[in-house]
Each structure stands twice: as C-alpha cells, then as structure tokens.
Chain A
C-alpha cells in the first residue's frame, strides 16, 4: 500500500530524514513517534508529495509519488501539523473546495462533505467562518478535509494537538475506527496517545528509523521482563557474588547507594520468573539485609527515551512477523551495543507468553535486552543514573 525506500532529505549538510525504509500493507493505525525535530513532519510531507526527497522512493498504492503524483495523491488524505484552512471561508465552503480539489465527482460532493462532517462532528459548524472557530474545531475541520473522498491512506500529523480531553477521547475513537478501513499513519510525541490507539509504532530519532513494532513488543524491547530494584546492606562484591549464584537472574547491575554501607542493584529476571522470594532468602542466608525491594516494569516511555537518546549506537537488523503482517525493520546497529549482547544467554526472553501474537527471533530479543541489562558492570559512578 505504502512503501518507503531509503528515504533521505537533506537540508544542506543536515539530514532531516536519513535513509528511512518501511512498508505498510495492512489496514490499521501506525504511529510515528519521535522527539521534536526527529523528522516526523518532514517524512510525512515527503510521503504526501509536499516535499521532494533528496533521494529514495515513496510508492503509494503502486504509484511513485514523484513520477505519478496525481494517481498517488488520489489515495492519500493528509492533515498537516497546521491544518491548511482558508480562514475567510466557512467550514462548508472549505470542505466543498477541498472536495473539488480532490476531484470527487460533482454529484457526490455534497454527500461526501456531509458524511465527513458527521464523522468529525462539525455539522453544526457548517456555516461558521473558519477564522471564528476554536483550535479544536479547526483541527477537526482539517481532519474532515483529510477524510474527504475516503482515501485508502490517511496521514495525520499530530492530530490531537489543541483538543480538549473530551475531544481527544472522541478523536481517538474516530481514528481507531478509521484504522479498520484505512491505513492511518499518525505522528505524535505523546506516548500515551500512541500507545492507546496505534497497532504499530514506528520510532524515529534524528532522522533515522529506530524501531517498528507493536506497543506491547516495544515495551519488552529492551528489558523483556521486569526489573527488580534492590537495596541491600553489604559490600558490592558480596552482593554481586550473591546475585550471580541466584538462579533465574538474567542480568544485574550493582551500584553504590545513598544508604550507608549499602548498594543498589538492578536485577533482571528471566521472563516469567518471580525471583523476589528466592532473592530474599538467599540474601538473608548470606547476611545481606534487604532494605528495599521494588518491582519495576519497563514502560514504553523508557523504551522511547532509550531508543531516541542514542541515535548512532544502535542497530538491529531483522524482519519479523507482527500479527501476521510483515513489517520491515531496519535499525542501525552500532558496534558498541553489538558486542554487549554476546555474553547474554539466548533465552533471556521467552516470547511465548506475551499475547500469543508474536514470534520473535532469538538474536533480536537478545539485542533488545542488551540495552538495559548489562551483566559486566563497569565502574560504579559511570553507570549511575
């Protein structure tokens, strides 16, 4: 449906988008996630043919956006970051104009405009001048414009910005509904939003594609399982020795603590294992009093921060099956990280339990976990947060 190959956009020496490739075949909601300036909007502008890429191809519904722009654009609906509204027109006039631009047949225009206004709930704003509308209604008018003509692919750049909480819930439902009949690609830097409505998340950082996966998988992306925060009284070596002896531990990191004569440890358990009790008894036996123990689940936020904070040092190269759809993942792998996953056991993560939807390949999962779990701990101060 929509295929992006090696997309690059340079402004002078700066690469706003750097060799991004992905393919989206199945209907659903896809979320572009990335910090400010990651290249989300630029990518979307290129996908819709507003900007031309420096190199690379965009193929929409079988048509190259540069070679057959008209045919390609016909199956696209686009809501840019700032809704492209003519403020001196009424909502109805504007949508009719947009429908004519889309080359919707004359006899279907009225009906098409009515239906998108109903979908976005702006029918009662029909005769208002756009300049008198609030931000939320402008956003909806822009969304209505994108929906005109029922395009196969919808590209929405930050569709939730400026909406009040009630409207956000409504628009979310609308987008989720649209995902059943269209390919919806939306961008956002708000994690909870993306997590809520997207079937697949595409993380972009510094113009590079960092990950494509379902939100659930991404949460496991690095840690794969829960992290146990432990503070125990005792020397660092003693604690390390104890943890090494504990069965079911996938990885650990021991650092100095604020507590006197104590150390903090971040322990990663093997997937599905609860090591809290074992740890407690073992530490008691070794005379290492546990002062604090806390279970922490890796949030998408953490994954996001991790993935986007080190743009040049990661790479994973694999393709995998996600809910039966084939998604190309081309991640950039740095040497440093690659070395780290060697000592990791392959079975850190056993994907079998998760949702039963995904089957990940072993090499990838080990790479995932490598980012968070580093068995060979370096000096105390360096790793401390």
Chain B
C-alpha cells in the first residue's frame, strides 16, 4: 500500500500533473490573499479559502484523472491486481497519494495566517479550523475524482465527468431552487424518484420480482406517509439535494466553527467514494 502511495506521488510529481495541481492552488490562493487581505485589509483568512474553493473544480479533475484510468489504459493494473495486495489497499494507497500531494499546498497555505498576524491580531483557532475544513473538503473532492477515474479507461473522459460532477455539487444550492418546495410537488417528485430507483434496481438485478417489490413498496410507503402527514413533505426535494451540496458544508468551518456534522459528512463522502471505487474495480474483474 505504501509502495503504491510512494510511487504514485513520485509519478505525479514527475509528470507535471502534480505540479500543475499545486501551482493552481497556490496561485489562486496568492491572488485572493493579495486582493482580500493585503489590498482589502480583511482580517478573516477564510474569505480567501472560500474564494479559492472554486479552484477544486479544475484542479481536482487534473490530479485525479490519470489515477486509475491511466493504469487501465496502459494495462499496468495487471501488475497491481496480480500482486499480493488487495484491491482496497491499492485504492487506499492511490487515495493516500492524492491526499499527500494535496497536503503540499495546504502546508504552504498554513503560513498565510502568520503573515496576517504581522499586521494585527487574528484568532488562530478560527483561522485554522477554516483551513482544516478546507482540507477535508478537498479530500472529499479527491475521493470523488478517484471514483470517477475508476469508471473509465480514458483520462479525458474521466476529467470531464469529474468536472461535471464537482460542478453540479458546487451549484447544488442554486439547483435546489429550481424545484418547488410545496408538499404536493415533493410527493410527486418522490414518487418519480422511487420509480426511477426501482427501475435501476430491476435493471441491475435483472429480477422483475425484486424490482416490482421495490417499486410497489416504496410508492406505497410514500403514499401512506403523505396521507399521515402531508406537511412533512414540505421541502423534501431540497433536503435530498442538499446531501450533495459538498461545498455548503464548508461554510461553518469558514466561520470558525468546528462542525462535527461537517467532519462526519466529509469522512462519509470519502468512505463511500473509496468503497464504490473498490467495487467498480472488482466488478470489472467479475463481469
């Protein structure tokens, strides 16, 4: 596992990709820092972090696109998968390498608040809580990138899909507003959602009985809930979509609050994405 991690970091640094990633992050951080703090004289460093969080949309796909897709294209995954290292360890080694590369600009970013300190008093606790939240958010994005990279053989497709997914999560609060929040509308959209899910289950399992049970069961449960308390359906769509609003979880950290919910949320995203990555590799071996 460590061998894979070490090799991956070295190859990223050798192949420009890692350097571009680090350079992008640091360049944008420098620009925002200059604009907000040196010119604008704002004391809160989290402004910079919030401003530069958009860089993940570009930087994460660049870093993660090769990770697993390139292995598959070059057939080097045969070396990894036939070596006495289990698939979860391979995936975790890869992920650790991505986090390791991400940690390099984060270490540099940690020095910025010290510059601010020279011009006045700032709360280190609040500032570094923000930096920690930013790091966690980045790690969650990287895990998504790794998952997308495991799905395809082409680095370009991997990068584009990864960008689209991150872009969607980034804009999720705007997308939420497209949907009506009345309980009747929520009820209907839930019915449609369950129908689609049941259809997918039927497609994956190729078992019409399971699909049928899922469809009827979920729709019935939904209808009963709606009969019992229609008001609880108010804004359900928004709540569901909010689960995917990753960058929204950062706002508490940016305000200097150590948000346990947020930490758990980010860790969950990472665990789920890594798990799905392992599954997607395993599935290819079995199909």
Enumerate chain A interface residues (CB-CB to B < 8 A). 11, 45, 48-52, 69-71, 73-74, 76, 78, 80, 82, 84-89, 97-98, 100-103, 145
**A-B pairs, 3 with minimum CB distance:** A100-B3, A84-B79, A101-B83
Once bound together, how far apart are the Cα atoms of A238 and B286, in whole Å?
Answer: 62
Q: A51-B285, A52-B286, A101-B4 are in contact. Are A86 and B76 (CB under 8 A)?
A: yes
Is the CB–CB distance between A50 and B78 below 8 Å? yes
Is the CB–CB distance between B4 and A84 below 8 Å? no
Is the CB–CB distance between B81 and A50 below 8 Å? yes
Closest to B90 in A: A101
Which residues of chain B (235-252) have a CB below 8 Å from chain A? Answer: none
6 of the cross-chain contacts (CB-CB < 8 Å) are: A11-B287, A49-B81, A51-B285, A89-B7, A89-B11, A97-B3
Which residues of chain B (256-287) have a CB below 8 Å from chain A? Answer: 285-287
Is the CB–CB distance between B75 and A88 below 8 Å? no
- Residues of chain B lying within 8 A (CB to CB) of residue A145: 79
Once bound together, how far apart are the Cα atoms of A374 and B77, in whole Å?
Answer: 50
Partner of A85, one of B14, B76, B77: B76
Is the CB–CB distance between B76 and A50 below 8 Å? no
Partner of A69, one of B14, B79, B86: B86
Is the CB–CB distance between B77 and A84 below 8 Å? yes
- Residues of chain A lying within 8 A (CB to CB) of residue B15: 88
Which residues of chain B (76-100) have a CB below 8 Å from chain A? Answer: 76-86
Once bound together, how far apart are the Cα atoms of A74 and B287, in whole Å?
Answer: 25
Which residues of chain B (1-22) have a CB below 8 Å from chain A? Answer: 2-4, 6-7, 11, 14-15
Which residues of chain B (47-93) have a CB below 8 Å from chain A? Answer: 74-86
Is the CB–CB distance between B78 and A80 below 8 Å? yes
Main secondary structure of the interface of B (DSSP, over half): helix
Closest to B93 in A: A101
- Residues of chain B lying within 8 A (CB to CB) of residue A50: 78, 81-82, 285
- Residues of chain B lying within 8 A (CB to CB) of residue A82: 75
- B contacts with A, residue count (CB < 8 A): 24
Chain A nearest Cβ from B31, distance in angstroms: 31
Partner of A84, one of B14, B74, B84: B74
Is the CB–CB distance between B76 and A103 below 8 Å? no
Partner of B85, one of A70, A71, A85: A70
Closest to A157 in B: B78
- Residues of chain B lying within 8 A (CB to CB) of residue A70: 84-86
Partner of B82, one of A52, A71, A78, A100: A78
- Residues of chain B lying within 8 A (CB to CB) of residue A74: 84
Is the CB–CB distance between A78 and B78 below 8 Å? yes
Is the CB–CB distance between A101 and B81 below 8 Å? no
- Residues of chain A lying within 8 A (CB to CB) of residue B3: 97, 100-101
Closest to B284 in A: A51
Once bound together, how far apart are the Cα atoms of A262 and B236, in whole Å?
Answer: 93
- Residues of chain A lying within 8 A (CB to CB) of residue B77: 84
Q: A70-B86, A80-B75, A84-B75 are in contact. Are A101 and B80 (CB under 8 A)?
A: yes
Is the CB–CB distance between A69 and B78 below 8 Å? no
Once bound together, how far apart are the Cα atoms of A49 and B4, in whole Å?
Answer: 19
Given A11-B287, A88-B14, A100-B3; 13 other pairs, CB 8 A cutoff: A50-B78, A50-B285, A73-B84, A74-B84, A78-B78, A84-B74, A85-B74, A86-B7, A86-B74, A86-B76, A88-B11, A101-B79, A101-B84
Chain B nearest Cβ from A268, distance in angstroms: 46
Chain B nearest Cβ from A320, distance in angstroms: 32
Once bound together, how far apart are the Cα atoms of A276 and B176, in whole Å?
Answer: 93
Once bound together, how far apart are the Cα atoms of A49 and B2, in whole Å?
Answer: 22
Is the CB–CB distance between A73 and B83 below 8 Å? yes
Once bound together, how far apart are the Cα atoms of A32 and B81, in whole Å?
Answer: 22
Chain B nearest Cβ from A280, distance in angstroms: 60
Chain B nearest Cβ from A65, distance in angstroms: 10
Partner of A103, one of B75, B79, B84: B84
Once bound together, how far apart are the Cα atoms of A87 and B86, in whole Å?
Answer: 24
Closest to B7 in A: A97
Max chain A Cβ within 10 angstroms of own Cβ: one of B2, B74, B83, B84: B83
Q: A52-B285, A70-B86, A97-B7 are in contact. Are A87 and B74 (CB under 8 A)?
A: yes
Is the CB–CB distance between A71 and B84 below 8 Å? yes
- Residues of chain A lying within 8 A (CB to CB) of residue B285: 50-52
Once bound together, how far apart are the Cα atoms of A76 and B85, in whole Å?
Answer: 13
Is the CB–CB distance between B84 and A86 below 8 Å? no
Once bound together, how far apart are the Cα atoms of A101 and B5, in whole Å?
Answer: 11
Closest to A77 in B: B82
Closest to B11 in A: A88
Once bound together, how far apart are the Cα atoms of A102 and B75, in whole Å?
Answer: 18
Chain A nearest Cβ from B70, distance in angstroms: 9
- Residues of chain A lying within 8 A (CB to CB) of residue B7: 86, 89, 97
Once bound together, how far apart are the Cα atoms of A224 and B165, in whole Å?
Answer: 66
Max chain A Cβ within 10 angstroms of own Cβ: one of B7, B74, B82, B285: B82
Once bound together, how far apart are the Cα atoms of A52 and B286, in whole Å?
Answer: 5
- Residues of chain A lying within 8 A (CB to CB) of residue B79: 84, 98, 101, 145
- Residues of chain B lying within 8 A (CB to CB) of residue A80: 75, 78, 82
Chain A nearest Cβ from B29, distance in angstroms: 28
- Residues of chain A lying within 8 A (CB to CB) of residue B80: 101
Partner of A102, one of B11, B74, B83: B83
Once bound together, how far apart are the Cα atoms of A74 and B85, in whole Å?
Answer: 9
- Residues of chain A lying within 8 A (CB to CB) of residue B11: 86, 88-89
Once bound together, how far apart are the Cα atoms of A304 and B1, in whole Å?
Answer: 44
Chain B nearest Cβ from A163, distance in angstroms: 19
- Residues of chain A lying within 8 A (CB to CB) of residue B4: 101
Closest to A51 in B: B285
Is the CB–CB distance between B78 and A102 below 8 Å? no
Max chain B Cβ within 10 angstroms of own Cβ: one of A50, A70, A74, A76: A50
Closest to A65 in B: B82
